[in-house]
């Protein structure tokens, strides 16, 4: 029973990663990885599984922006079931799916906002993509001769 829970957890993480990537311009490279993943089930099975993924993506990208969150949620559930069923037949593929999901997440974390600051004399700039911790605190003073 513990293995089934692990498989479904991996399937859930994988489904979330796929739905996130479906609307990005990096989808084709992710799709190639998904195709390799499904090859574990054989050529015919891989084609069928990939067709379901392609249909899900077409549905998502064809959805109006206002309805997208609802469709994303539905697709995450459907893909979790699809991936879970595949992993039950091929439990040795769980690590490969987890690795794919981790790669997608790492790529997302690396694609955060980028900021360039120019001409900021006599000023301080603090930019954070997450929490800022400082044991001594932050101290800001107006520049010498400033108001």
pTM score: 0.69
Examine residue 60 and state whether it is found in any structural domain, yes or no. yes
List of long-range contacts for 89-92, beta carbons under 8 Å, 24+ apart: 89/41, 90/40, 90/41, 91/3, 91/7, 92/40
Task: Give the H/E segment covering residue 97.
Answer: helix 94-110
Examine residue 116 and state whether it is found in any structural domain, yes or no. no
What's the Cα-to-Cα distance from 119 to each of 116, 139, 145, rounded to whole Å?
A: 10, 21, 18
> Who's near 142: CB < 8 A, 6+ residues apart?
none
Examine residue 129 and state whether it is found in any structural domain, yes or no. no
Question: Which residue has tokens 């929490």?
Answer: 131
Give the domain range for residue 76: 2-110
Q: For the chain, how many structural domains are there in total?
A: 1
Query: How confident is residue 104, by pLDDT bands cut at 50, 70 and 90?
Result: confident
Mean pLDDT of 2-7: 62
Q: For the segment 46-98, what is each residue's pLDDT rounded down to a tens digit?
A: 999 999 999 999 999 999 999 999 999 999 999 999 999 999 999 999 999 99
The per-residue pLDDT for 107 is: 78
């Amino acid at each position: 029973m513990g293995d089934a829970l692990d498989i479904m957890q991996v399937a859930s993480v994988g489904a979330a990663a796929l739905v996130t990537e479906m609307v990005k311009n990096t989808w084709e490279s992710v799709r190639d990885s998904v195709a390799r993943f499904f090859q574990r089930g054989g050529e015919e099975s891989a084609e069928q599984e990939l067709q379901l993924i392609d249909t899900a993506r077409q549905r998502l990208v064809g959805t109006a922006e206002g309805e997208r969150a609802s469709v994303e949620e539905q697709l995450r559930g459907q893909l979790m079931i699809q991936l879970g069923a595949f992993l039950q037949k091929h439990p040795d593929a769980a690590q490969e799916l987890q690795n794919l999901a981790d790669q997608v997440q790492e790529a997302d974390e690396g694609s955060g906002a980028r900021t360039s600051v120019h001409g900021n004399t006599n000023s301080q700039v603090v930019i954070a993509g997450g929490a800022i911790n400082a044991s001594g605190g932050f101290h800001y003073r107006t520049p010498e001769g400033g108001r």
